[in-house]
Structure 1
Amino acid sequence: MNDLDPEGPGLVVGAENLEFLPSLPDGAFTMIYLDPPFNTGRAQVRATTRSVRAQGDESDPGDRIGFGGRSYTTVKGVLSRYDDAFSDYWEFLEPRLREAWRLLAEDGTLYLHLDYREVHYAKVMLDVLFGRECFLNEIIWAYDFGGRTKKRWPTKHDTILVYVKDPQGYWFDSEEVDREPYMAPGLVTPEKVARGKLPTDVWWHTIVSPTGKEKTGYPTQKPLGLLRRMVAASSRPGDWVLDFFAGSGTLGAAAEQLGRKYVLVDQNPEALEVMRKRLPNAQFR
């Protein structure tokens, strides 16, 4: 697959994403949203470190001084090991993030949706793959639903890391973003109250209602309002957007509403069946 048809419908592909992604052209997508498995049940092994004697010159200065004024370099071992869905979660995710970088347009933006268990590792990985200067935002999606433990502060948020391909040339249109009510409307003018405020990097948005019309039955479905906000800010009408952990197809639904073209990839038969019902105008492969 070398070309994307600008006149055709959105595309849904049933495939293992790492096998399919190389068929997509470089720089084709203005916005990529990824909601990979969170790997919640992993077993973690403590990281190891060791010190290696450095040369002490410009080519190998080391990062600390030890006994006798000698220079040493600290070498970090394997950060962690996982035995949930993947033998090594980061070995699974890294090549897919590399593909995401390749597929982003020069003015493109990546949104990577994770929870508190993995996001700090992902931040380090994306700093390496994209460059620290390409980090744009850490968005906190806060919600208030579900059970509450009394043994610690209940966990009621996910984190979305936002990286751009070019920190000097990325597309972001704040005028297209939905606005929110002021929390203290008495402190601003009536004109501002009527218009609402631009969202910050903390997004208060409920989860998909278990009994609402938006619910598809897919277990990890994300709210349409979240994806609409990302698509509206980081792409233009007619641009291509991509989600290769497509799940219930929420990115495609947001793209259709906002006049964007989309490619969704998932190998789960349940996800593909949900998307067939939710996106009847899409082309399926």
Structure 2
Amino acid sequence: MSAIFSGDNKIILADNMEFLTSVPDESVTMIYVDPPFNTGRTQSRTQMKTVRVANGKGDRVGFGGHSYETLRGALASYDDAFTNYWDFLEPRLEQAWRILAEDGTLYLHLDYREVHYAKVMLDMIFGRDHFLNEIIWAYDYGGKSRSRWPAKHDTILVYVKDPSKYWFDSEEVDREPYMAPGLVTPEKRERGKMPTDVWWHTIVSPTGKEKTGYPTQKPVGLVRRMVAASSRRGDWVLDFFAGSGTLGAAAQQLGRRYVLVDQNPQAIDVMTKRLPAAALVGV
């Protein structure tokens, strides 16, 4: 796997943890991952262990002065179900930290069930000063609850490998219309404004051309904005929970090179049909 980030774009059928541990340090400029949201609340407890911090400096004191392992224990006593999710997600995010280039950026896409836990986890792995943004993706589709405020957003946590060296190109990002166009100059009105950290974007239409049939597919326009801002033409981008391959579709539009990893044969089938020019590896 040492040459995986060379040559053709790739779709890889593999367990993502096995794949990640085979990748050399600092191989990729941008990572976008949309992992399972842990919607099931199975109550189970796993044995706690001391965790090695990804940067090799040993135990880190985190939020509130808690050490890494102490915080894990506190979360386990608060919500047993999350312990399993942490054990699943944490080593993969540690590997993401390792393989990001020094100017690299991670986008972690989650919903309201786990994002608060994941923020603490990433503060520990990357460091709190490596946190760049919390992006809110707001949409309006689906059921309308009458017993609470309907949940109509996801959260994308953005962390950088090195706060002094990360790549961010605001000029590459698509612009949005001004909400009060009469208050700005004609030149600004024509160009549009830089997006904020709240992104209003529709979901993939159930009847639209973009629809692949994959149940958790995300819209290309959403991911394209991340790729445009945090990578350059020719850079390698990675999604190791690739699903329908939206990162690859966005990267292809923008002239980036991509690697998509999934162990689900349905996902591989969808991606190979969607991105026929990519090399298929691991089958």
Aligned residue for 1:107? 103
Q: Which moved more, 1:255-264 or 1:126-135?
A: 255-264
- 1:196-275 equivalences under 5 Å are 196-275=192-271
Distance 1:43 1:143 in 2: 29
Deviations 1:239-272 (A, max 9, x none): 0000000000000111111111111100001000
Aligned residue for 2:22? 23
Distance 1:187 1:181 in 2: 12
Distance 1:38 1:147 in 2: 18
Alpha-carbon offset, residue 82 of structure 1: 2.0
Equivalent residues, number: 257
Alpha-carbon offset, residue 44 of structure 1: 5.8
Alpha-carbon offset, residue 23 of structure 1: 1.4
Aligned residue for 1:3? 3
**Any unmatched runs of 5+ in structure 2?**
46-63
Aligned residue for 2:59? none
Aligned residue for 1:38? 37
| Larger-gyration structure (1/2) | 1
Alpha-carbon offset, residue 80 of structure 1: 2.2
SS in 1 for 2:3: coil
SS in 2 for 1:82: helix
1:80 aligns with 2:76: no
Aligned residue for 2:191? 195
Distance 2:115 2:94 in 1: 17
Paired residues of 2:133 and 2:157 also in contact (CA < 8 A): yes
SS in 2 for 1:24: coil
Alpha-carbon offset, residue 190 of structure 1: 1.5
Deviations 1:167-213 (A, max 9, x none): 11100000000001111111111111110000000000000000000
1:170 aligns with 2:166: yes
Distance 2:146 2:34 in 1: 29
Distance 1:247 1:77 in 2: 29
Paired residues of 1:231 and 1:254 also in contact (CA < 8 A): yes
Paired residues of 1:228 and 1:255 also in contact (CA < 8 A): yes
Which residue, out of 91, 116, 130, partners 2:87? Answer: 91
Aligned residue for 2:50? none
Counterpart residue type for residue 280 of structure 1: P
Aligned residue for 2:49? none
Identity among equivalent pairs (%): 74
SS in 1 for 2:187: helix
Paired residues of 1:14 and 1:266 also in contact (CA < 8 A): yes
SS in 2 for 1:181: coil
SS in 2 for 1:76: helix
Aligned residue for 1:154? 150
1:280 aligns with 2:279: no
Distance 1:127 1:256 in 2: 31
Distance 2:5 2:125 in 1: 29
Paired residues of 1:240 and 1:261 also in contact (CA < 8 A): yes
Aligned residue for 1:132? 128
Distance 1:5 1:99 in 2: 16
Distance 1:187 1:152 in 2: 36
Distance 1:77 1:29 in 2: 31
Deviations 1:54-87 (A, max 9, x none): xxxxxxxxx99xxxxxxxx99736242229xxx8
User: Scaled by the length of structure 2, what TM-score is found?
Assistant: 0.87
**Any unmatched runs of 5+ in structure 1?**
47-62, 65-72
Aligned residue for 1:59? none
User: Scaled by the length of structure 1, what TM-score is found?
Assistant: 0.86
SS in 2 for 1:88: helix
Structure number with the higher helix fraction is 2
